[in-house]
Structure 1
Amino acid sequence: MRARSFLLPGPAALLALALVVRLGMSPLKHFDLFFHLAGGRFLLEHGFTRVDPFSVTGTAGWVPHEWGFGVLCMLLVRWLGAGGPALFVAALVCANVLLLWSALGRAASGRRGLVALATLGLVLWVHLPTWNQERPFHVGHLLFTVSVLCVQAWRAGQHRVLWVFPFLGVAWANLHGSWPLGPALLGATAVGAALDAPSPESRRRALRALAFGAVAFLAAGLGPDGPAIYLYPLLHSVLESTQGINEWRPLGLDERWSWAYLALAGATLFAVGRAPSRRVAILLPAAVLGIAAIKVQRHAPFAAVLLALALLEHAVQTPASEAGASTLGAWRRLWKGLDDAVAGWSARGRGALWPALLLAALTVVHARQPTPMEQGVLRTWIPLGALDALRRLPPGRVLNPFVIGGPISFFAGPDYKVFIDSRNDPFPLAIHQDYNKLVWGEPGWEDALAKYDPDYLLWKLENPGNILLDSLRARGGWREQFQDGDYVLWVRERPAATRSP
């Protein structure tokens, strides 16, 4: 029976298996991936630099704080082709799902029944919009879950697990900007644990955990960015240009996942209210990050995990006789039967081996026959034809929408200097303002164009892109070189001797 349990996939393993198929076999599509690839390739070939190598407008300085993700993806591209980043993202997402299920089981005192399964569903619903994006926040989500598991082990009396945090701090800070959440989670949990059981021994344990949290924070500065990494997350979050990015805006009700987040928050408040006692060790970090997620929706996937843990930790305190969907006997028996079935399935199903085997099989397939990047990209999103046409022209300055800046830097190369890209922070506020003038035809757009003096225009045809195209067409001095779906490549007509460096 024990041997069979390793062949039976549990609820999380079954979902992970489906995600390997869905994500591991999808074409690359997210614009941000390509500036990470361009940055990773540049660092592998030239090393670190504070000067933005991809534009002449990025004068605010380049802090490649997520350089590790770009380098890893670039190495995977060289080994597995376009399948490398896709399989990497699939592995990160699947590992996170499996570890989340483990963390929820610990919070529920080992019983993962209907409530635990529904809680996992709400958490993953909040995570759902991120799954189709090949971005480094998947690393952040996974390492946050690892931090949660370590904190749970510490609360259970395992003191040596604190040594994980300094190493986690070094790795996390060089992979994703959410790294301060690790030390913050440990510190808030330590303070809460001391409040839960005030005693000299509890205070000593809390002070020890706080010290390790401080060391984890300081360890983040051991990377190539040095001490600049300490303030980077804060400085980036307060940039005026950052406030216009959708994921940095307050939680809105126009996205279905936000309703899942609010439902999870409401269920947590209900469970905490019914519980005979409250555990500050989980409520303190959950409340702080939960409120932060309402202000900045980027934090919602992390906050959802803590809300789920708080829900389950307090739900298990409710007597079994009060549990269930209804006080009616028939409904309670049905609930108990389903709950026992899910709990039994979760206890027996240890088949996390299956998604791992499928990932390994797909890796072998791509290693034997790597898919070229040009064939593994979603062409309806990335204008590969226009990028190839640009690469055949002499190097120069390219006026472009910000989302296509990364693909230009990767497919055409750093010699084609973009006006802007979705890294956001290397570009001073004046560049963002000039970009808006060019996009919307606002007063001063001609001065912005003259200041940048582009050689090429890679622009979208659809509104509002047509505003600039119509204005330049009326002025003259440009010729169309290539059209690729919604994008058009124009070349400025002027003698080669006057081409911008």
Structure 2
Amino acid sequence: MRGISALTRRVCRLDTQRLAAAVLFVAVFAMAARVPTDTDVWWHLKAGQMTVETGRILQTDFFSHTRQGQPWINHSWLTQILLYLLFRHGGYLGLGLFQALVATLAMLLVYRQMEGSVFLRGFIVVLTVITAAVIWSARPQLLSFLLTALLGYLLYLYKWRGVNRLWLIPPLFVLWVNLHAGYALGFMLLVGFVAGEVLNNLLAWFTREAPADPILPWRGVGLVTLIGLLAVLCLAVNPHTTRMWTYYLDTVGIGALQDLIPEWASPDFHPLYTQPFIWMLLGTLAVVGLSGRRVDGSDLVLVAGFAYAALLARRNIGPFALVTAPVLSRHAHPIVERWLRAARARGWLPLPRPPRPPTAPLVLLNWLLLALALLAAGVKAYLPLRAEFNVAYERSTLPLDAIEWLRAERPPARLFNSYNWGGYLIWHLWPDYQVFVDGRTDLYGDAVLDEYLRVWRAEPGFQAVFDEYSVNTVLIETGGPADNFLALDGSGWTVVYADEIATIYVRGEAR
């Protein structure tokens, strides 16, 4: 009976503000449920399939002929299993709903850290979503996005609410290091938080003023530091043990990374989809300046640090949005309150009324509106995630027709392929064809990636790469530099297939 009474009370409390919050997150879910367009998804799916079918975590390369049999730090093995099972049982819909759920949970954790009315927080959540959505895809990286939000929430609880859940951080990193190598974001967050609290304590000692916002005492700073050191040790709890301590640094040290992968390069602010990052950064600076509230040291260090990281690499725009949104709300809230008081003083707005429980007709109307929002979100999520829609999308943007030709005609192996298509080819063609290169940049390193770039750019003498790796078949983008060169070159390469997306060449003597 108590459970029924509690449920009844919750049902009857669906007032306008709760409705607005519910509709907000229904909209976030609907926006995040979209077509999986990142081709790296496909090699993750193939790796997950092999792990499930063999019962062994992949630690050597099977998918390429350039690095076959070499050690491979497969840091996302656990996520790969999850993604493969979702795809096997749910298809494109399963991947899309996974992406939507993870993104929505991350936004909910950010929302819980904010100050202000539901409408102010809702506006900032929308800004956060359109800023961070550039990195959302059904890849292990998305779980790092969620875990960054969760770690930020744990630190928020400790500092701003006095609730100690820091004991969750070491097991969180054990999970994180087996899901994705983005655990480095977690350490950025911990180091920035500790540095900010050190700054807060030093400023309080120097100015002898009591801060308006809570700061951690030195004992608390020491506890967070100790937890962070324990988290470092926990990184060794994975199939690759202590190699994960330096894995991230080894990856970012690859020279060809920014040449090959746009998300590792500095963002290009000319396309509209990257400009919300500028809006959020400049808006936060403006609001902090206008709020009249002293900037908290942790907020300052974290926003500055993650903004710096986002300016260096587009993939860090999402984490920047996560740490900046609560700061933006803390400084926007007093500005909005001042404006509202001034508007009421001038008679432009009515005085606030004491809160009252919503009437039965209003509750019924709110539930009806929520049901309509859920229905609309369901339709929006389902339509682009149908298998036929996704296959048509792949056929118009990826070399699916060329892959079908390869399966039917079976030209000789030793393939040279576009980097962007490597993961997609692994899913569709392995084990019949092994790729030259794919999105596992840490596996290939500069040695192979530089050779790939020589061919892709059609640099002088690039055909020596084909001889070095005994390449007999080339699958590249139609109209690219290498395609144009091979089409005019008389060195024995013959076009055997071509469409608007892909062109296939076969070496003359291998036909």
TM-score where L is the length of structure 2:
0.80
The residue number in structure 2 matching 1:379 is 395
The residue number in structure 2 matching 1:119 is 124
Q: Which amino acid aligns with 2:123?
A: A
Question: Of the candidates 166, 178, 192, which is equivalent to residue 170 of structure 2?
Answer: 166
The residue number in structure 2 matching 1:3 is 11
The residue number in structure 1 matching 2:133 is 128
Deviation of 1:99 after TM superposition, in Å, equals 2.7
Deviation of 1:33 after TM superposition, in Å, equals 0.7
The residue number in structure 2 matching 1:398 is 415
Q: 1:81 to 1:312 in 2, by over 3 A?
A: closer
Between the aligned partners of 1:190 and 1:352, the Cα distance in structure 2 is: 44
Deviation of 1:495 after TM superposition, in Å, equals 6.0
Deviation of 1:240 after TM superposition, in Å, equals 0.5
Question: Of the candidates 178, 189, 210, which is equivalent to residue 185 of structure 1?
Answer: 189
Question: Of the candidates 310, 329, 337, which is equivalent to residue 293 of structure 1?
Answer: 310
Q: Does residue 253 of structure 2 align to residue 243 of structure 1?
A: no
Question: Of the candidates 476, 485, 504, which is equivalent to residue 459 of structure 1?
Answer: 476
Provide, for residues 350-409 of structure 1, a one-character-per-residue CA deviation record: whole Å limited to 9, x for no partner: 9999799879989xx99xxx9599858632123223223323427721111011111111
The residue number in structure 2 matching 1:220 is 235
Between the aligned partners of 1:458 and 1:447, the Cα distance in structure 2 is: 17
Q: Which amino acid aligns with 2:180?
A: H
353-362 or 391-400: bigger deviation: 353-362
Between the aligned partners of 2:154 and 2:369, the Cα distance in structure 1 is: 20
The residue number in structure 1 matching 2:5 is none
- Partner SS for 1:418: coil
Deviation of 1:3 after TM superposition, in Å, equals 1.2
Check whether the contact 1:440–1:468 (CA below 8 A) recurs between aligned residues. Answer: no
Q: Does residue 342 of structure 2 align to residue 333 of structure 1?
A: no
Provide, for residues 64-93 of structure 1, a one-character-per-residue CA deviation record: whole Å limited to 9, x for no partner: 122222221111122222322222112112
Q: 1:102 to 1:452 in 2, by over 3 A?
A: same
Q: Does residue 96 of structure 2 align to residue 76 of structure 1?
A: no
Provide, for residues 446-485 of structure 1, a one-character-per-residue CA deviation record: whole Å limited to 9, x for no partner: 211111222322222123353244145x3335451x4454
Check whether the contact 2:21–2:118 (CA below 8 A) recurs between aligned residues. Answer: no
Between the aligned partners of 1:180 and 1:351, the Cα distance in structure 2 is: 44
Check whether the contact 1:83–1:376 (CA below 8 A) recurs between aligned residues. Answer: no
Unaligned runs of 5+ in 2: 1-8, 206-214, 356-361
Q: Percent identity?
A: 25
Q: Does residue 491 of structure 2 align to residue 475 of structure 1?
A: yes
Question: Of the candidates 14, 33, 42, which is equivalent to residue 23 of structure 2?
Answer: 14
Q: 1:174 to 1:11 in 2, by over 3 A?
A: farther
Check whether the contact 1:56–1:419 (CA below 8 A) recurs between aligned residues. Answer: yes
Question: Of the candidates 411, 419, 425, which is equivalent to residue 408 of structure 1?
Answer: 425
The residue number in structure 1 matching 2:107 is 97
Deviation of 1:431 after TM superposition, in Å, equals 2.2
Q: How does 1:305-316 map to 2 (within 5 A)?
A: 305-316=322-333
Check whether the contact 2:106–2:145 (CA below 8 A) recurs between aligned residues. Answer: yes
Unaligned runs of 5+ in 1: 497-501
- Partner SS for 1:419: coil
The residue number in structure 1 matching 2:287 is 271
Provide, for residues 144-190 of structure 1, a one-character-per-residue CA deviation record: whole Å limited to 9, x for no partner: 11111111111135454112211211122222332122233234324
Check whether the contact 2:174–2:238 (CA below 8 A) recurs between aligned residues. Answer: yes
Provide, for residues 412-435 of structure 1, a one-character-per-residue CA deviation record: whole Å limited to 9, x for no partner: 113411111122221132322222
TM-score where L is the length of structure 1:
0.81
Check whether the contact 1:420–1:427 (CA below 8 A) recurs between aligned residues. Answer: yes
Q: Does residue 55 of structure 2 align to residue 55 of structure 1?
A: no
Between the aligned partners of 1:479 and 1:319, the Cα distance in structure 2 is: 65
Q: Which amino acid aligns with 1:112?
A: V
Question: Of the candidates 138, 142, 145, which is equivalent to residue 142 of structure 2?
Answer: 138
The residue number in structure 2 matching 1:29 is 37
- Partner SS for 2:197: helix
Q: 1:208 to 1:89 in 2, by over 3 A?
A: same
Q: Does residue 204 of structure 2 align to residue 202 of structure 1?
A: no
Between the aligned partners of 2:106 and 2:117, the Cα distance in structure 1 is: 19
Q: 1:7 to 1:94 in 2, by over 3 A?
A: farther
Provide, for residues 76-120 of structure 1, a one-character-per-residue CA deviation record: whole Å limited to 9, x for no partner: 12222232222211211222233322222xxx1x53333x33322
Between the aligned partners of 2:482 and 2:346, the Cα distance in structure 1 is: 58
Between the aligned partners of 1:201 and 1:408, the Cα distance in structure 2 is: 52
The residue number in structure 2 matching 1:421 is 438
Check whether the contact 1:398–1:419 (CA below 8 A) recurs between aligned residues. Answer: yes
Q: Which amino acid aligns with 1:102?
A: R
Q: Does residue 269 of structure 2 align to residue 253 of structure 1?
A: yes
Between the aligned partners of 2:370 and 2:230, the Cα distance in structure 1 is: 35
- Partner SS for 1:39: helix
Check whether the contact 2:19–2:370 (CA below 8 A) recurs between aligned residues. Answer: no
Q: Which amino acid aligns with 1:221?
A: A
Q: Does residue 247 of structure 2 align to residue 232 of structure 1?
A: yes
Between the aligned partners of 1:386 and 1:287, the Cα distance in structure 2 is: 46
Q: 1:80 to 1:304 in 2, by over 3 A?
A: closer
Between the aligned partners of 2:369 and 2:61, the Cα distance in structure 1 is: 43
The residue number in structure 2 matching 1:499 is none
Provide, for residues 4-62 of structure 1, a one-character-per-residue CA deviation record: whole Å limited to 9, x for no partner: 445977445434434544554x4443211111112222333342344321112237742
Between the aligned partners of 1:203 and 1:313, the Cα distance in structure 2 is: 24
Q: Number of paired residues? A: 473
- Partner SS for 1:180: helix
Please give the root-mean-square deviation of Cα atoms over the aligned residues, in Å. 3.9
Check whether the contact 2:99–2:142 (CA below 8 A) recurs between aligned residues. Answer: yes
Check whether the contact 2:20–2:118 (CA below 8 A) recurs between aligned residues. Answer: no
Check whether the contact 2:413–2:473 (CA below 8 A) recurs between aligned residues. Answer: yes
Which consecutive aligned stretches of 4+ in structure 1 deviate over 6 angstroms post-superposition? 198-201, 326-332, 348-362
Check whether the contact 1:400–1:458 (CA below 8 A) recurs between aligned residues. Answer: yes
Q: 1:309 to 1:361 in 2, by over 3 A?
A: closer
Q: 1:452 to 1:358 in 2, by over 3 A?
A: farther
Q: Which amino acid aligns with 1:52?
A: D
- Partner SS for 1:399: strand
The residue number in structure 1 matching 2:321 is 304
Between the aligned partners of 1:135 and 1:350, the Cα distance in structure 2 is: 35
Q: Which amino acid aligns with 2:95?
A: P
Deviation of 1:209 after TM superposition, in Å, equals 1.4
The residue number in structure 1 matching 2:455 is 438
- Partner SS for 2:504: strand
Q: Which amino acid aligns with 1:451?
A: E
Between the aligned partners of 1:124 and 1:298, the Cα distance in structure 2 is: 14
Check whether the contact 2:236–2:245 (CA below 8 A) recurs between aligned residues. Answer: yes
